[in-house]
Structure 1
Amino acid sequence: MNNLKNVPIFSGLNDQQLLEVKKHCSVRPYPKNTVVIYEGDDTDSLYIIDSGKVNVFLSDKSGKEVIINSQGPGEYFGELSVLTGHNRSASVITKEKSVFTVIYRQGFKTLLEDNPNIAYNIMQNLAIRVQDLTGNVKSLALQDVYGRVVKVLMSLSEPAEPSEASKRLINQKLTQQEIANRVGSSREMVARILKALTVGGYISHEKEKIIINSKLPEHY
C-alpha cells in the first residue's frame, strides 16, 4: 500500500489525495493457488495487486476453465462490481503468494466523487481491456489452435537480449494446461504443438521458462 503513487489508477493524485485514498484501504495477503473472488459472487471490493500474480478466468459447471487475463503488481481487478453493483463477472486466483490493497465499494465511491482523475483512469483502462478482449475473441473465432498458441506465447514473452532481436523469453512458469485454458483447447493438443516447436528448434526450455529462439512459423 505504500506504493499507491505508482499504481496507474491513482496517476495524477498529489500526496494529500493519496493520503485520503489510504484511509479507505486495507491490506490482505493470499497464499499461492488461492481463489480471491469467485465468478457470481456478490462481493463489491476493488483489489490492487501490491505483489504477486493472478489469473482471471471463467469456468462452467463441468469445471472447464478459460483464462482471460493475467495481472501483476500495480494492476487491479474487481472494478466492474464496484461500479455496477452486479455480481462478479469472473474468478481470480493467485499464481504465487500475493498481497492486495482492498478498497470497498462505499469507500471507492467516495474517492471517485472527490477525485475525478480516478474515474478517468478507470475509463482509460476499461477501454484498453475492451480492445484486448476484442482481439481475443477475434483470435478464438478466426485462428486455429496453433495460431492461438503462438499468440499466447508471443504476448507473454519479452526480448531476451537487445543483441538478439528474434530471441524472446517467457519469464514465468507456464504449464501446458494453463496454455490450453488460455486458448480454449485440450492439454494434449497444446503438448503436441509445443513438442513440434521444440523439435523444430523454434522454442527451448530452461528450467520453468520457455525461450523462443526464432520467429514462430505461421502454420503448424
Structure 2
Amino acid sequence: MYLDRVDLFDGLSDEQAEVLKSRSRVRNFAPNTIVVNEGDDGSSLFVVQSGALKAYLTDNIGREVTLSLLDPGDYFGELALLDDAPRSASVIALTRSEVLQIPRVAFLALIEAHPACMQIVVRNLVGRIRNLTESVRSLALVDVFGRIARVFESLAVETDGVGIIDRRLTQQDLANMVGASREMVNRILRDMVSGGYVEIEPHRIIVRKKLPRHW
C-alpha cells in the first residue's frame, strides 16, 4: 500500500512518503485480535494494507457502538501523531489483516525536516472531522431506516448496475453501527427485502435499487 493512496497523506511528495514508510513496520493480525484498546497509550498511526478491521467503543456493561469499518487504504490512530492522550477507541481485526504502523517519532522527524507537511496533514484531518460531523448529524437527526440506508450506500461498490457489500454484516453489526436495537434493524431489513431494495445473502448484501431516505 503506497501512502499516496491514503487521504491523510494526500499532498506529500513521493520522497516524503518514502521517509515515513522506511521508519515504519508492517504488522499482521489474526481474525478477532485486538489491535488497540481504548485507553491504551497511543504513539502510532496505523494504515490498513489488507484485511478488514472495526473501530468501536464499549461501555461498562458491555454495550458496543461501531464507529467505522476499516478496509485497505483506511487508517486509524491518527490523533496519536499529534498528542499524548490515550487511545479514544478500540480496533479489532475482523479477518486476517496487515497494517503499516507509523510511529509518532517518524512523523515528527518528517515535520522537522519538512515543516510544510504539517499543513498538509492538518488540512486532511479537517476533512476527516467534517465527515465525523456528518456521522453525528445522521445519528441525531436521521431515523433508523435512513441510517441503515446511509451505511449501505457508504459500503456498497457498484457492480453490473447493483451495489455489492462484499462482507458479512449481522443484524447486531448493523445495530451497533446505527445506534438501534437488533429487533428494530430486523424489522427494517425485512421491509427493505420485501420492497425489493436489497437482497441479503450469507456473506454479502446486494443493493438492487436506490434506497429512500425515509420509510
Fold shared by both chains (TM-score > 0.5) = yes
* Corresponding residue SS for 1:68: strand
Mark the CA change 1:14 to 1:169 in structure 2 (over 3 Å): closer, same or farther: closer
Gaps of 5+ in 1: none
Partner of 1:180 in structure 2? 175
Alpha-carbon offset, residue 129 of structure 1:
1.6
Over 3 Å counting, the alpha-carbon distance change for 1:103 and 1:187 in structure 2 is: same
Per the alignment, residue 163 of structure 2 pairs with 168
Q: What secondary structure sits across from 2:126 in the alignment?
A: helix
Pairs within 5 Å for 1:32-43:
32-43=31-42
Shift of 1:97: 0.8
Counterpart of 2:39, as a letter, is G
Q: What's 1:120 paired with?
A: 119
CA shift for structure 1 position 136: 1.3
Q: Is the 8 A contact 1:10 1:118 kept in 2?
A: no
Can you list the C-alpha shifts for 1:113-145, whole angstroms capped at 9, x where unaligned? 223454234223311221111111111111221
For the residue of structure 2 that corresponds to 1:159, the secondary structure is: strand
- Alignment TM-score, normalising by the size of structure 2: 0.89
Over residues 71-112 of structure 1, what are the superposed CA-to-partner deviations in whole Å (9 max), with x where a residue is unaligned?
222222112023111111111111211111112222221122
Matched, 1:60 2:55: no
Distance 1:210 1:19 in 2: 38
Q: What is the aligned partner in structure 2 of residue 31 from structure 1?
A: 30
The residue that corresponds to 2:13 in the other structure is 13
Equivalent residue number for residue 154 of structure 1: 153
Report the secondary structure of 2:199's partner residue: strand
**C-alpha distance in structure 1 between counterparts of 2:113 and 2:33, whole Å:** 34
1:215 is aligned to: 210
1:204 pairs, out of 183, 199, 203, with: 199
Q: What is the identity, as a one-letter code, of the residue corresponding to 1:36?
A: V
Q: If the length of structure 1 is used for normalisation, what is the TM-score?
A: 0.87
The change in CA–CA distance for 1:219 and 1:88 in structure 2 (over 3 A counts) is same
Unaligned runs of 5+ in 2: none
Q: CA deviation at 1:19?
A: 4.3
The answer on whether the counterparts of 1:10 and 1:117 sit within 8 Å (CA) in structure 2 is no
1:84 alignment partner, SS class: coil
| Residue 5 (structure 1) shift | 4.9
> Alignment partner of 1:168: what SS?
strand
Percentage identity across paired residues of the two chains: 41
Deviation at 1:182, TM superposition (A): 0.7
- What is the rounded CA distance, in whole Å, between the counterparts of 1:189 and 1:152 in structure 2? 15
